[in-house]
């Protein structure tokens, strides 16, 4: 396979230089600053981590480094020099030739970027073939090797599946393979492991880091996860309100940040929920088995009880059955055996058999807000729909409740006339939370609802959810791969693996040693804010025989 670059890749030479970057976004019938005079440089083989709150400009800067501004945004000032050529002044045709071949992008939400009508393999190899970097046969073989390096199951055949036939985590890894197919000089990673469980995240991070090192690829790594950026970045840039707060080498930044805002970021996520014994259960799942299209069983004899006014956390790696169980509870995938009771009454297994009131009482917040929100509806329309459909609210009552919900998710009413495409990832997820709350449910199934949010916003959302639980008595099923989130919000923990429950109990029982073997694997995979953590973990697992040479 040919290399995408016609010049030698010498480690340490300058590749990207950004100077005085200014980006604006359009809303409320005027342009607003998003990025304000940001400067940075990037050398071949170097990884720059961008961190900061939602709306800080991280993703906007990552896209601008490719000479691109998303719809509703414009680059108004500055320069972006890639390998000596200014991306902002060159023709669009020349920029298109660079993107995909020498500059690649891995998005936060793979589900929103894959074409549902084409197989994964066709989309993985498309750019390499189109740019003449490889023949179709060569590109196919290379794609399989990338699938193996990224720990995708059945790498020789998974490429023949369509996007909807793989899990969210598997789809995110396939997108990483697609970006790496041309061996680009620069890759912009925009939260590439957000959708992944901790065990899968370890393998993907190791694969990304190894490929960056092997090919001297420069990378911009956008993330809100401080422990992840500690493993991946050579340097860290902290952003707030579109401006640089501080920038330094990773070890220096972690050991001695100079700015108070950075120290605040380092100190978040110390929530801890007191466990209180529940006297009765809102939801009881008894020996439920489910399968897709009546074929392979994806849930096997699952039994779980959700206490009234409490939180049950479902943890496990991608494909373990967590989201499938959520689909069974909501009636989107009727179980083939077993039973479910809700509020001491049998719950019809099929969505079509449930009354409007039952539909109202069980709500779900999805993992990917990009897929869950209609891009053509305003924020006001999105939140108003459940208020009108379930509660019959209209006029002033409806408008007042919309305002209350916006206040609850810490967004003001100036966002109401915006479309989802005009919001940050964190803002979009908060709108999804408001939409679920609008129905006044008894049970909310939260499918990785904080995974797209920065550390500070995560903390605020978790505080909000716990406050609502205390005030309203709402129950949560919290699907997550973030053990810090489990510690913060859970009363009970259920560990799933390959469609089965391998361990469950109170948070203290499950998270305190000794653990079941699989639970121990999960807990040991939680990243720590130590730049050597990933290297040490991989070495330990290799010695234990958990990883092969490729892993």
Question: What DSSP assignment string belongs to 30-49?
Answer: EEEEEEEEEEEEEETT-EEE
- DSSP structure class, residue 224: S
Handedness of CA 418, 419, 422, 423 (dihedral sign): positive
Name the strands in the sheet holding 243-249, side by side, starting at the edge strand that comes first in the sequence. 103-106, 186-190, 218-222, 47-52, 235-240, 243-249
Name the strands in the sheet holding 14-27, side by side, starting at the edge strand that comes first in the sequence. 30-43, 14-27, 73-82, 85-86
CA angle, 309 then 311 then 317, to 5°: 160
Distance CA 8, CA 321 (A): 46
Backbone angles phi, psi at 475, to 5 degrees: -100, 150
Domains and CATH numbers, the chain: 14-267 (3.40.50.300), 281-512 (3.40.50.300)
pLDDT the model gives residue 424: 78
pLDDT the model gives residue 550: 40
Instruction: Say how many C-beta atoms besides its own lie within 10 A of residue 404's C-beta.
Output: 12
pLDDT the model gives residue 414: 92
Helix and strand counts by DSSP (H, E) for the chain: 20, 20
Alpha helices in 270-393 (DSSP H): 322-330, 356-361, 369-372, 379-391
What length is written for the chain? 551
Structure tokens at 345: 């009454």
pLDDT the model gives residue 371: 84
Distance CA 121, CA 157 (A): 9
Which contacts of 541-550 are long-range, i.e. CB under 8 A and separated by 24 or more positions? 546/521, 550/148, 550/149
* Ordered per-residue pLDDT tens for the chain, 551 residues: 555 444 444 556 789 999 999 999 987 788 999 999 999 999 998 999 999 887 789 999 999 999 999 899 999 999 999 999 999 999 999 998 898 899 999 987 787 889 999 999 999 999 999 988 999 999 999 999 989 887 788 999 999 999 989 877 788 889 889 998 998 999 999 988 876 777 878 877 887 887 788 778 899 999 888 888 999 999 999 999 999 999 999 999 998 999 998 888 876 655 666 655 566 899 999 999 999 876 788 999 999 999 999 999 999 887 789 989 999 999 999 999 999 999 999 999 999 999 999 999 999 998 778 888 999 999 999 999 999 999 999 999 999 999 999 988 888 999 999 999 888 777 888 899 899 999 999 999 998 888 767 777 778 778 878 888 887 889 999 998 778 888 888 999 999 999 999 999 999 889 887 778 888 888 888 888 889 988 888 888 888 776 544 44
Handedness of CA 129, 132, 136, 138 (dihedral sign): negative
| Total-model pTM | 0.74
pLDDT the model gives residue 5: 46
- DSSP structure class, residue 394: -
């Amino acid at each position: 396979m040919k290399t995408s670059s016609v010049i030698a890749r010498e480690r340490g030479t300058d590749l990207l230089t950004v100077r005085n970057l200014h980006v604006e976004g359009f809303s409320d019938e005027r342009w607003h600053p998003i990025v304000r005079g940001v400067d940075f440089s990037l050398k071949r083989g170097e990884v720059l981590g961008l961190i900061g709150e939602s709306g800080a400009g991280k993703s906007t800067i990552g896209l601008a480094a490719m000479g691109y501004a998303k719809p509703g945004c414009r680059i108004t000032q500055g320069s972006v020099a890639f390998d000596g050529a200014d991306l902002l002044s060159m023709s669009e045709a020349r920029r298109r030739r660079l993107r995909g071949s020498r500059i690649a992008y891995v998005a936060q939400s793979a589900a929103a970027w894959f074409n549902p009508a084409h197989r994964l393999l066709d989309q993985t190899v498309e750019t390499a073939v189109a740019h003449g970097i490889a023949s179709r046969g060569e590109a196919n073989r290379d794609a399989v090797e990338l699938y193996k390096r990224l720990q995708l199951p059945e790498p020789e055949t998974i490429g023949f599946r369509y996007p909807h036939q793989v899990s969210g985590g598997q789809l995110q890894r396939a997108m990483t393979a697609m970006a790496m197919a041309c061996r680009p000089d620069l890759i912009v990673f925009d939260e590439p492991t957000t959708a992944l469980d901790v065990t899968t995240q370890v393998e993907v991070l190791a694969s990304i880091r190894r490929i960056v090192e092997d090919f001297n690829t420069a990378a911009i790594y956008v993330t809100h996860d401080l422990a992840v950026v500690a493993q991946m970045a050579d340097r860290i840039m902290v952003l707030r309100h579109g401006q640089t707060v501080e920038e330094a080498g990773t070890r220096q930044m972690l050991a001695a940040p100079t700015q108070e805002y950075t120290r605040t970021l380092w100190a978040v996520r110390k929530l801890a929920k007191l466990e209180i014994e529940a006297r009765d259960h809102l939801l009881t799942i008894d020996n439920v088995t489910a399968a897709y299209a009546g074929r392979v069983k994806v849930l096997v004899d699952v039994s779980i009880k959700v206490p009234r006014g409490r939180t049950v956390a479902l943890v496990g790696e991608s494909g373990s059955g967590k989201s499938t169980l959520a689909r069974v509870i909501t009636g989107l995938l009727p179980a083939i055996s077993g039973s479910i009771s809700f509020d001491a009454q049998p719950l019809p297994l099929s969505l079509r058999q449930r009354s409007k009131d039952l539909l109202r009482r069980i709500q779900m917040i999805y993992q990917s807000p990009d897929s869950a929100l209609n891009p053509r509806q305003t924020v006001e329309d999105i939140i108003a729909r459940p208020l009108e459909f379930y509660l019959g609210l209209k006029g002033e009552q409806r408008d007042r409740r919309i305002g209350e919900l916006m206040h609850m998710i810490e967004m003001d009413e100036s966002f109401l006339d915006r479309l989802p495409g005009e919001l940050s990832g964190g803002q979009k997820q908060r709108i999804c939370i408001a939409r679920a709350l609008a129905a006044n449910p008894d049970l909310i199934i939260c499918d990785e609802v904080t995974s797209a949010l920065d550390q500070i916003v995560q903390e605020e959302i978790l505080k909000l959810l716990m406050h609502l639980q205390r005030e309203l008595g709402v129950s949560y099923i919290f699907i997550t791969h973030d053990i810090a989130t489990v510690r913060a919000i859970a009363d009970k923990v259920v560990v799933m693996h390959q469609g089965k429950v391998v361990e469950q109990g109170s948070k203290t029982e499950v998270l305190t040693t000794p653990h079941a073997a699989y639970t121990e694997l999960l807990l040991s995979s939680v990243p720590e804010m130590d730049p050597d953590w990933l290297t040490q973990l991989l070495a330990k697992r290799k010695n234990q025989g958990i990883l092969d040479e490729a892993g």
